Structure 1
Amino acid sequence: MSQHPSDPYGTPQATPPALSLPRRDLREAVRGPVTPPATALTSQPAQQSLELAQRYELLNRLGMPTVGNEDFDELARDMAERAGFLYGFVNLGLEKQTFVGLHQPPADSGYVIVGRTMSRDHGWCPEVMTRKKALPLHDVHASPRFSGNAVVDAVGIRSYFGAPLIHESGVVLGTVCVIDPERRPLSEARRIRDITIHGGAQAMDLIAHQPVRQAVPPPPTREP
């Protein structure tokens, strides 16, 4: 599969070398509190702005970094390999969708190589966060509601399975998901869905057991 110039994952024009992320304590990735830009809060509907601010505040309180990390990369790889998919993600729903965990084909494989962020308007993960339950799409073209998506054209995705990351407080932090350019038999849907649900539980266990930092209040919103 060749690269597509309109890839919503932020694919560069030239195939980048594979990244090797060093294993480290997640605390080392934190460089001060993470706060959403003011434009991210004011440009969204009120409910979305509130949820985004709550998400950032909780991540600060948990001491959860918002950069790629090898522990989450390994989780993404484990989900993808168990499902037999090419791509796996641990995705935080921030100003942009942010892949703190990422597994994908090798840089010289001929498949699209994705970046660590993607617009919040693309893909099916925003739908998973809204519905707060797993979304199994064994064939995205089987449902008109989900077949019209920028990711389908840019990466050629035919199957998607995702599950939400929900903190015990009720705050939805993001998702885990696997995607692939091949559709899957309907008979496989339950097994793959369960892989993502289990992966989501593992991701939340990693997130919840990070050292607790002092809570940082979300930035004040401005009146439109």
Structure 2
Amino acid sequence: MTNGLTLPATNGAVIGEDGVARCPWAGGPGVMRDYHDTEWGTPVTGESAYFERLTLEAFQSGLSWSTILNKREAFREVFAGFDPEAVAAYDETDVLRLMDEPRIVRNRRKIDATITNAGAVIDLRAHGGLEQFVLGFAPDVPPAPATLDELATTSPDSVALSKALKKHGFVFVGPTTMFALMEALGIFDPHLVGCHRRGSGRIEG
């Protein structure tokens, strides 16, 4: 037992204090478990929803995901509900305002990247839009990891998505970040085999 969790020798899904099997990173109560149980791997729709998740994954780079989740509402507020047209119009005054905002991650490169990506999202409408563009890189054979050792951090599909987005002017969209984005959006089922959420998101096929 560790922190109230039963950790199996297989390094797979863990049984929490509530008797429910989950991916190990969501074993204990709190914001991470809530995110795991209600959102991670569940498909969303709409340009703003995709832009939000792309932005948050970029801000998460080098930080814990719990940090981003705890700041999520502030991110939504300062980035105008992730309306691409509003964010694309941000100027230096807006950047300085964001750099002075203690409720978000104050990283100038990531803030600039969000504004750049907002413009790229708008331009991508001529190619079917961000949602359909990302969905086009869904793997033909979705992964089905049973243990942490079987989890990947990149894939040929995330590498291809990264390259394609960069060609359309996006930044902070490396293969690892895009793999995390695909997991979060339910482009494929990211949950471990044995997790109670496995199979609850996108229907593969």
Q: TM-score with structure 1 length normalisation?
A: 0.26
The structure carrying a bigger strand percent of its residues is 1
Task: State TM-score, norm by structure 2.
Answer: 0.28
Higher helix share: 2
